[in-house]
Each structure stands twice: as C-alpha cells, then as structure tokens.
Structure 1
C-alpha cells in the first residue's frame, strides 16, 4: 500500500516537475524575445525579431507576420503587411488572403497538419511544394485583432502539438502589445517627418514671397498671401526693372505641401529669368509656359496674371494664363476687368497668349486676387463672390494699397465666420497717386 502511494506521489512530483520545467522554458523563451525586441522601436525590426525567435523556439522552417490596418473610408477593408523569416525559399502569396480571411472570421488559433488535403484552403502547386503544415494565432490588442502570427513546417517532419499552439499563443499575446507600440511609434515618426517637411516647405514659400514692396514715384504697392494650411499654392511677386518698369504677377500653383512649394520655386525662377530678357507680357508667359511644360508632370500647372507697369507712360501691359481677371477701378468709380484669354502655364506647349494695354490714371486702383478670395465660403456654403470684392474696393478707394488689402481680408474673414479657410487668400494692390 505504501509502495503504491509512493508511486502515485512520484508520478505527481514528476508531472509537477515537467509542468514547472515547461513553465521555466516558456519564461526563458519569452524573456529571450522580450530582450531582443526591447532594444528597438523600429517596426520592421521588431517583427523580424519576433518571427526569428518563433522559428527558433517552435522549431519550424519559416514564419510570417501579417499586420492588419483598418481603412476608415472603406469600412472593414484591411491591408496586409507581410514579413517572412525563412531558411528556405520565400513563400508564395496566394495563401495569405485565405488565411487572413479565416483568422478575421474566427479569431482563434489554427493548426493545419496537412495543408494539401485541407478543404478550407485552395493552394497553388508551388505552395504545396513549400508548405506542408502551419500554425497560426491571432495578434490581439485590447480585444481588437491587429494581425496574424504564423509558422510553417515543423522540422524533422513532426506535427504541431498542443504545446506548440500554447507557446505561439503566449508569444503572440506578448508580441501584439510590442508590435502595436512599434506601429504607433512609426506613425508618430512619419507624422513628425511630414510636419518637418511642411515646415521646410512653408519656409521655402515664405522666402519666395516679397519681403518688402517697391517704392516707385507716383505709385504705391502692396501684397499679401495667407495660406489655408501650413503651405499654400498661391504666389505673387514684384520684379522692378532697370528701365523704370515694374513687373508684377499673381498666380496659383496646383497641389499643396512640398510639391506645391517646389513648383512655386520652379515658377519663380522661371518668371524671374524670363523677366530679364522679355520686354512684353505675352512672350514671357509663352516662354514660361514652355519651360514649365517640359520641366513638370502633366498634373502640375499654374494660373498666372502677369503685368508690366510702365511708370513713365503710365500704362499697364498684361497677359493672363487662366487666372482671375483683376479689377481696375478709376477715381470716379469706373470699373474695368482686365480680361484676356489664356490657359494655365504648363498645360500645352507653344500656346500664344494675348496681350492687352490699359492706361493708369491718377487715383486708379488695380486689385489682383486669387480664387481663395472670391470663392471663400461661409457656413451656409455661400461664396464671397467678386461683386463683394468690387464693393470693398470702391468703399476704400481713398485709402492706400495696404489699407485696401487689409479691409478686403477683414470683410472676407467676417463673411466666412466660423467656416474654415478652404483655400489660400492672396491679394496684390497697386495705386497711382
């Protein structure tokens, strides 16, 4: 009787020792993984280390992690990011979508000992060649599935055991939190990089705009550009010439952010280069159009009003490349729209722009503006419209260019109220005194 009791105690002790040994091994494995991945926040590196450790400790040929990324605009649609660590050739990709779909639906561990004959999955001949068996567990963080951890082909033709499944599940639970942290860190770094690029682009744009305004006998000038975001697409410039002429322009480049800032830099260099050699507005726009056409992609273009102010003869020579036509208002309140036909710069090669001339009399005010002014919208989705621009000009004819500009911006801002600024607002004002 004592012998039988001793045997039972021995068996219990043996079982407990085995359980403790397994627990120690699991803790050792988890510590090994934790030590490896604690040294980095790089997402790709973290995933690579996790897969590498799974291949080692579960004793398999290959491993993979798929991360699922929710796309808010398309509901449950998910994007798969795949990382593989392998001692054999890379895995084919057809199985991925089927396995991920099964995991999203069931959200529990999956063991397949004989993939070729498993009716749940349709695999290619190449997959049959490389994949005999697999073990997959969901990666879950705060009750949400963020990915799948999978290992393939037990070594020495063994089968996956319940202990393998338990171990991989534990590894997956630990890894999910680390992966999510690394992913959030990556997103933060990408946002930081994007913000830094936006700051650089904003600085580029600021440096391209005039820092002061030309002082010309009998004339006053002023301009301002208020971007809707950190970096806008509007551009204006004053380019004094040695022959007593003043070139000025106002335009809107396509795009936003760094691409818009680079296109603006390209446009400024082009226009300033042409201003040296061109004596007329239409030739300058034609050459600038050709240069922009050949140096940019099709979707990159710019609208532009280009004027040459002859301060000796008091004439304005101008051409327009698809931009809003400026207003010229006389001291008596007479209004002239400076309209000419022309396509945006960069659209078509060898386009011939039309040039016009108009006299500038004492007291005349010229106001050029971007569509961010005329199309500024309030909370009722009503546009400011050009008629209101004209009203502000007429009301402030007795003021100088800066006061006219400030008044226009103030009225537009009051009109839009709490509605967010949807586009850049740019104004250039020239007045003969």
Structure 2
C-alpha cells in the first residue's frame, strides 16, 4: 500500500511539474528563451545525462544542435551531410540501446568526449510537419523505464512544439511589422537624399537589418551593356576587385538583369551561372532593380552560409529594389547633372584660357590689313592662329590644326603654342624653329596625335613673306587678277617623325594680293547632297569681295559656309586668317 502511494505521489509530482512547464511554455517567450526552457525542464523531468534539440530550418538540414547536461548548456556545430534528418525510423518515441557506431554517439564523443548507452528520441511537429527531434541520452541502458516517463516527455515535447510554433508566428508578425516600418522609413529617407553614395550606403545599411549578408554589391546597367558595381561591401580580396563588373546575361547578376527575375541560390558551387567574386560565399540572392518595367540595375547579396536565403527574403529584397529604383535613378541623374556642371565650368575656364592664345586686338601693319576668325565645333577646340611680334618690321603669322577635337585637342594646341613661341624667341631661322617644335611634339604626343601648321615671317617693309608648311592645308595667295598660288613648301606634320627636315620659302607680296590661311573646317563643310565647300568656292568668294576689308572678307566666307552646309551637318573647328596687301 505504501509503495503504491509512493508511485502515485511521484506520478502527481511529475504531472504537476509538466503542468507548470506547460504554463511557462505558453508565455510569450522568444524562440531562444523557449529553447533554453525546454532543455532545462526536459533535463529535470527526465533525469537524463544529456538532452539535445535539433530543429530543421524551414525543412532544410540544420547547422547546429542545442545540448544541455547537468551544469552545462552548449550549441554545437554540425555538418548536415553527416546526418540523415529525414530518417525518423523506428527509433522515434521508443527508448533504444546505442552502440559505438551510432552517428550521434560518435558526434558527442568527438565534441564532448562522452558516449551514451540509451536514447529516447521524440519527434517535433510544427504546423503538422515534422520539424526536428528532442533527444534524451543516458549512460544507463535501462533508461526511461519509469512508469509514464515517456508519456510525460511526449507531452512536454508537444507543448514545446505548440509554443515554438506560436513564437514563430509572433516573430513573423513582429518581423513583418518591422519590415514594413523600415520600408516606409527608408522610402522617406531616400526621398531627401540626392548624393548617389549616400543613397546606396543607406539602402545597404537598411537592408542588413532585415536580410543578413556578408557581402553586398549594387550594380547599375550602363549603355555599353555592362553592369558596374557602384556600391559594394564585403569584397576585400583585391584579386576579385575587377570582377565587380558583369556583362548582360553573364553570371547570376547578368542573368537577373537580362531576364528581369530574381533568384535564390542555396549553394553557389552547384549553380553554373555563378562567377566567384568572394572566396567564402556559399549562397546568394539576386534581384533586378526595375523602373517602370525597365531594368536599371541589380541587387546582389551573398552569405558565407549555405541555404541562407528563402523566398521571403527574395520578396523582401525585390520590394527594397522597387522602393530604391526611383531614388537610385534620381541620384544617378543628379550625379550626371553635377558632373556636367563641373565639366561645363572646367570647359568654360579652358575656353577662357584658350581665348588668351588668340589675338586680342586688331593688328595694325602699315601696308597690310589682317584679320582672323576662330570658331570651335565645341566650347574648346584644336584650331589656332596668331600674330607674333618678332622685332621692328617683322611679324610672325601662324595657323595650326590639331588632330581630334574638344579638350584633348585644346591641350595639345596649348603645348604647341608654348613650344613655338619659345623657339621663336631663341631662333630666327624658320626651318630650325620648325624642326625643334616637331622634335618636342614627337616626344610628348601619344601615337596617332599630330599638329598641322603654317608658320611664316612677314617683313612689312620689303613685303616678303617667308614661310614653312608642316603638313597643313596650303594657304592660297590670290593676286589682283585672280590668279592663285598655293604655299606648300615645308615638311611633315608635327608629331609624326622626330627627325624631319623642313624647307622654307620666301614669296613676294604686291598691292591687291590677298593671302588666305584656313583649316579643314572651311573646305570640308558639306551640304545636304554630300558636296564639300572646297577651296575653289572660297577663292571665288574672296575674288568677288576683294574690295572689302580683311575682316569683312573673313565673315563673308563664314556666312557662305553656313548658307551652304546642311543644317544637320556639324562643322569641324573652323579658322580663317586673311592678309590683304593695301596701298
């Protein structure tokens, strides 16, 4: 009778303990708190030597096992490939003997230096799906044989399953609320930021609060068909720095941009599209950034864990991409606008400097009327003309044209002008000046760049013009009767060969003569039929307007070119210099 009363008392104590534990588990605990509680209470109720908890992560094999023994609680890392978590077998809910070859016995021997003789494995079900197991280990082969012990432990496992499922639901609601709040806050913040670097850094920082990553790269699709990483973090190996650029259709990033679809990759080593950019990456999540169904870029996040991302993460990142698209596009346009303004300012300064290279005032020479016009196809150009006072009664005249256009051409022209003026001050012989300028330019110019030029000295007393032509369009002398002479004497254009011998030639000028200097922008202007303006047309205009001043003749030629050319034809740099002999 006493023995029966003792059994009943033990039964009642266990039942009371189970009831108390169930009440604890029904409290709104976080998942981590629940895991600690179930391990502690299971150890007390079962009197086992060790309790372990294994839970599948949304159906995927876990990376860790939680264990507790008297006085110790640990989380042990495991290799999922060493265990078959889907093999529930006959071991479930029934105490069984273990041998030394049991995979879990071997695992605990390796990790804890302990072996066990008996195990009771209880299944855990979340939402009616098997989700793991709660294991009780004992070094006594007759473990868990106390009456009703297995039933109590089953009830405890069921209580934990229900509590954990409720905790997951609470966590999901809290996470969803947080994600929505974060999306709203991020959208509001992005609406007030224009700097591209700030926009991208804010997006990356906000995203990490809801989708963890070890590496992130945000790409923009450029007109050349390549995706360029305009923001990245976690790519510290310089070996892969140049790989943060993908061609449309290549790699996971290129695939997402081409198809307009996102993708979750559980194991990058098994996906042929993956291009390695981080040695430690195990899984990846990629989504396109779309603006009105147009792909403008790609979000790419990488993890050092396999199976790090799921469909919910894909949806969340896609929402982030949609919210970010307008801000990224706006920041890109703002960046382009700022850069354009800076470039315009720099070009304006360059144009102002270049203007100082041209004659600032009309040259007054007794017996001559001289004028010039310089019109750049862009704000700065590669054409140049000047009048250079050498000594009393002698004036240097120069016209030049650099291969290319824009700022590069203007920089080469500045170098040519400096070299020419320096040599004019050191030498009087024209051929020597030409040879030294050519040598200097050949040494400094990249292959394929060159300068054509005509330089000569006008003696206004003797009315003799001595010149040398470095591969330039020959100036044309039109006499009072309309006859023409081309000034061809000289040598190669500057910058092609280092050692070139230049010839010079004097030519006498007479009353009524008009000498026309010009660049290819004059003669190569085209009409709608593809015909060029050419020198004959220019000479004819000069002949018909010879009674006008040099400045008027130059403007008449420019007016004729504008009337002749097709409205859609873009003129090259255009320069005209007119020297007229007057009585």
TM-score normalised by L of structure 1: 0.86
- Pairwise CA RMSD: 2.9
Distance of 1:154 and 1:171 partners within structure 2? 22
Residue of 351, 362, 366 corresponding to 2:511: 362
Asked whether 1:148 is paired with 2:298, we answer: yes
CA positional deviation for 1:391:
0.9
Partners of 1:398 and 1:296 lie apart in 2 by 43
Partner-residue secondary structure (3-state), 2:474: coil
Structure 2 partner of 1:424? 573
2:273 to 110, 113, 121: 121
In the aligned structure 2, how far is the partner of 1:65 from the partner of 1:180? 13
Matches within 5 A, 1:3-402: 20-31=173-184, 33-34=186-187, 37=190, 40-71=193-224, 77-81=225-229, 83-86=231-234, 92=240, 93=243, 97-118=250-271, 120-121=272-273, 129-153=279-303, 159-402=308-551
Structure 1 residue 341 displacement after superposition: 3.9
Distance 1:368 1:95 in 2: 50
Over 3 Å counting, the alpha-carbon distance change for 1:89 and 1:78 in structure 2 is closer
Q: Is the 8 A contact 2:522 2:574 kept in 1?
A: yes
**What secondary structure is seen at the aligned counterpart in 2 of 1:151?**
strand
Q: Secondary structure at the match of 2:290?
A: strand
Counterpart check, 1:404 vs 2:553: yes
**Aligned CA distance change for structure 1 residues 121 and 423 (closer, same or farther; 3 Å):** closer
Deviations 1:118-139 (A, max 9, x none): 4x43566x86x51211222221
Partner in structure 2 of residue 5 of structure 1: none
Distance 1:47 1:320, change over 3 A: same
Native 8 Å contact 1:140 1:176 kept in 2:
yes
Q: Secondary structure at the match of 2:531?
A: coil
Q: CA deviation at 1:417?
A: 5.0
Check conservation: 1:112, 1:135, Cα contact below 8 A.
yes
- Determine if contact 1:70/1:79 at 8 Å carries over to the other structure: no
CA distance in 2, matches of 1:299, 1:144: 40
Taking a change above 3 Å as real, the CA distance of residues 65 and 305 of structure 1, as seen in their structure-2 partners, is same
Pair member with larger Rg: 2
For structure 2, the 5+ residue unaligned runs are 1-162
What's the counterpart of residue 3 of structure 1? none
- Residues 98-117 of structure 1 show CA distances to partners (whole Å, capped at 9, x for unaligned) of 10232134322211222223
How far off is 1:359 after superposition? 0.9
SS in 1 for 2:178: helix
1:374 Cα deviation after fit: 1.2
1:349/1:154 Cα in 2 relative to 1: closer, same or farther (>3 Å)? closer
Contact 2:229 2:244 in 1 (8 A): no
Q: Is the 8 A contact 2:288 2:297 kept in 1?
A: yes
Q: Deviations over 1:226-265 (max 9, x none)?
A: 2222222210000122231111011111222222222222
Output one character per residue of 1:211-239: Cα deviation in whole Å (capped at 9) or x when no partner. 11221111111111122222222100001
In 1, the alpha carbon distance for the partners of 2:433 and 2:419 equals 9
